[in-house]
Structure 1
């Protein structure tokens, strides 16, 4: 069932319930009011007939005649009067006795002074009447034809109005729901046009601050993320294919050349060394890609624990200098930095990868192969600066330096794949930190910054 139909039916059902409760309340209130009003009329009629009987000179036969004449056109109230001995004093029409008073009934009237009840469709009242020091029991009974006709008419009108209003409400609900959900229908039609090859399409939004516009806005943001992911994936695959092709082609060429002609032992060893260098480069690229994949996980899937940044820096320093004997690293932690300020919730492996990349990058492009690491506190944030001297990075290259597979003109002389800094930035963001780079006056600095009051919220 469509939402439009469901909303219309639900709206109609709620209206029917409310209207039904209102109609039933009106009907039963009118019914109760009619009953009370007619009992009051019966009492007035009983008193009037008793007064007429006891206080006027009108003969009883004339009163009977008056009752019968009125009964032809009206539902005349039938009145009977009894004394304390239960003897009938007066009756409008003893032959057609509606009430058929019994001694028990008369006794109850004298005892309670006033009673009222239904007898079939008739309403009956009994009351005590005093005249000349004597007490009498007066009963009055009649059928409230006009009252019941009014109730029947009210019930008929209520049913007709109930059905008519429900039909109108249903039709209005269809029109209103169609109008209210028309943007959603248009949104569905737009979504159908979006495919893997048309991720640049977006849903139309208006300036209205409603749920549908909020949905369209969030959907567009999701499309933007998907488009960026698809573009990054295409770019990633294209560059990986290129980067893997180069060492593979070199290995194949060297081995084919060695197999086509006889060579000396030294030449074969040289060929093997070239092939090993290319294989190591491929292994290094493969490791970088694996690290990149780990850094691309959902943060909820990555294990975080309490670690000390100074210890991670020392391990990165030791690993880098062990793998490259020519590299030199100097670590300086400002005396203002307290021990607890170095403790964060993070992933030790990924942070080592990030710091290794920054140290390797600094040593690689420094003429002295020297990286200076400076740890300090500034503006309620922990700053870890990786500094090297040498060829500076142009402003144009700095704008793209954290993009995947991007290599500046000055870095093309050194071996690399353009993955390290991109991977470092992703790891930094995973730890709710950020990294910036600037290069000026023969000095290049990469700043790893993490706020002390916002250390990892995973």
Structure 2
């Protein structure tokens, strides 16, 4: 069933229930209110009659005309009066009661002896009468019973007209509301149709398509914006996967090409043992490089799937830096690069010491690798506002501004980096960024071509809420 039909049916069902409840409540409340008004009017009329009798006395020769001359409210056209003796016999009767024979009921007589008034309804051919029987007591004895009655025919006719109006107007209102609901549901779902058509085109493989639904700020607008964001992320992910596959293929093909070429060359004719040994050593270097690439790819793959576990223990960064400084100094000697220590503020973070060591060693290794001979690499540590800021500054080849946003992408290496050295896989900084992120930190980079780079690892101190 189409959503438009479902919405209209649900809307119509709820509205029908509301209209029925509203109509029923209106009818019941109005009927009760009108009946209460009739009862109140009868009570007031009975009170007037009793007051008249009490003031003029009651005797067997008093006529209704004598009472009504002093109290004209007793001659109201829509009411009739009767006065009964304690035996239930009529003693005074208003003229307009002649059309009905309204005797005093046994229930009203018994209730009158107990000193209480009785409300009753008596049905006669063509109409219903509403009666009130009020006792007149004197020193605990029943003297008379005043009965006042009126016809309920006007009330019943008014309620009948109301019922007809409700029975006619409620279905008309329901049909009009259903038509309006159908129209409004169609208007509300029109953007959904647009989303569906666009999604079908996107499903065909065109991830460049976007929804053009107006940004109204409502649920449909937010759905369209969320859908566009999702498609944009999918597009970026697919592009990254394609680029990753291309880069991985390139990085693995290069050492394989070198190995294949050198092996074919040395096998073309008989050579000395030294030539074979040289080729095998070269092949071993390329195998080591491919092994490193595969290991790093495996690590990143496991990290993406959440299979790499991180320890959480206090790590003193100043001690870690001093330990790594010794290893970095040995690396610097091979490149004629000096590695020095700057100011080291005491700083303790919660994390995995092995991963933090790998992170810092990768950054320092890159700083040494891309430095010029005779250059300087400085490692410093300071604390600021609950954060540890571990910086590694070099005087190397630097990085272009347009490349700074991509240096943490997998397999990405700038042309200057490839020219400067053929070492590296392009995965080290991606691993560093992941380790920093897992420690609720980040890596900041400042660089300029030819002026060197400064990599700053920002980590929250132990006990901070960063």
For 2:414, what is the secondary structure of its paired residue?
coil
Distance in 1, matches of 2:387 and 2:99, equals 110
In the TM superposition, residue 214 of structure 1 has moved relative to its aligned partner by: 2.2
- Could you tell me which residue of structure 2 aligns to residue 198 of structure 1? 206
- Could you tell me which residue of structure 2 aligns to residue 24 of structure 1? 24
Offset from partner CA, 1:146-181 (integer Å, 9 cap, x none): 221221221121122222212211211121222123
The answer on whether the counterparts of 1:46 and 1:79 sit within 8 Å (CA) in structure 2 is: no
Residue 82 (str. 1) matches residue 91 (str. 2): no
Q: Structure 2: state its 5+ residue gaps.
A: 54-59, 67-76
- Could you tell me which residue of structure 2 aligns to residue 267 of structure 1? 275
In the TM superposition, residue 361 of structure 1 has moved relative to its aligned partner by: 1.3
| 1:291-370 alignment, distance < 5 Å | 291-294=299-302, 296=304, 303=310, 305-308=312-315, 309-313=317-321, 316-317=324-325, 326=334, 330=339, 332=341, 334=343, 337-338=345-346, 342-366=347-371, 367-368=373-374
Distance in 1, matches of 2:394 and 2:363, equals 10
Residue 383 (str. 1) matches residue 389 (str. 2): yes
Residue 99 (str. 1) matches residue 106 (str. 2): no
Q: For structure 1, which segment, 200-209 or 444-453, has the greater mean C-alpha deviation from structure 2 after superposition?
A: 444-453
The answer on whether the counterparts of 1:428 and 1:434 sit within 8 Å (CA) in structure 2 is: yes
Distance in 2, matches of 1:360 and 1:248, equals 25
Closer, same or farther in 2 for the Cα pair 1:81/1:455, shift >3 Å?
closer
- Could you tell me which residue of structure 2 aligns to residue 8 of structure 1? 8
Closer, same or farther in 2 for the Cα pair 1:46/1:98, shift >3 Å?
farther
In the TM superposition, residue 31 of structure 1 has moved relative to its aligned partner by: 1.6
Closer, same or farther in 2 for the Cα pair 1:5/1:346, shift >3 Å?
farther
Q: For structure 1, which segment, 245-254 or 382-391, has the greater mean C-alpha deviation from structure 2 after superposition?
A: 382-391
Q: Structure 1: state its 5+ residue gaps.
A: 59-73
Distance in 2, matches of 1:399 and 1:379, equals 26
Distance in 2, matches of 1:208 and 1:445, equals 45
- Could you tell me which residue of structure 1 aligns to residue 235 of structure 2? 227
Distance in 2, matches of 1:124 and 1:189, equals 73
Residue 167 (str. 1) matches residue 175 (str. 2): yes
Closer, same or farther in 2 for the Cα pair 1:95/1:53, shift >3 Å?
farther
Q: Normalising by structure 2, what TM-score?
A: 0.76
- Could you tell me which residue of structure 2 aligns to residue 123 of structure 1? 130
How many residues are treated as equivalent by the alignment? Answer: 433
Offset from partner CA, 1:391-433 (integer Å, 9 cap, x none): 4555566565444422333542422233323443444344332
| 1:142-291 alignment, distance < 5 Å | 143-195=151-203, 197-291=205-299
In the TM superposition, residue 455 of structure 1 has moved relative to its aligned partner by: 6.5
Distance in 2, matches of 1:390 and 1:151, equals 97
Closer, same or farther in 2 for the Cα pair 1:224/1:15, shift >3 Å?
same
Distance in 2, matches of 1:432 and 1:48, equals 95
Offset from partner CA, 1:46-71 (integer Å, 9 cap, x none): 9789999833679xxxxxxxxxxxxx
Q: Normalising by structure 1, what TM-score?
A: 0.78
Match of residue 435, structure 1, among 438, 444, 456: 444
Distance in 1, matches of 2:194 and 2:462, equals 46
Distance in 2, matches of 1:396 and 1:108, equals 103
- Could you tell me which residue of structure 2 aligns to residue 62 of structure 1? none
Offset from partner CA, 1:271-322 (integer Å, 9 cap, x none): 2212211111111222232343355456x97635234234544565566678
Backbone CA RMSD of aligned residues: 4.1
Offset from partner CA, 1:365-395 (integer Å, 9 cap, x none): 3325864312223576433222334545555
Closer, same or farther in 2 for the Cα pair 1:220/1:307, shift >3 Å?
farther
Distance in 1, matches of 2:420 and 2:152, equals 112
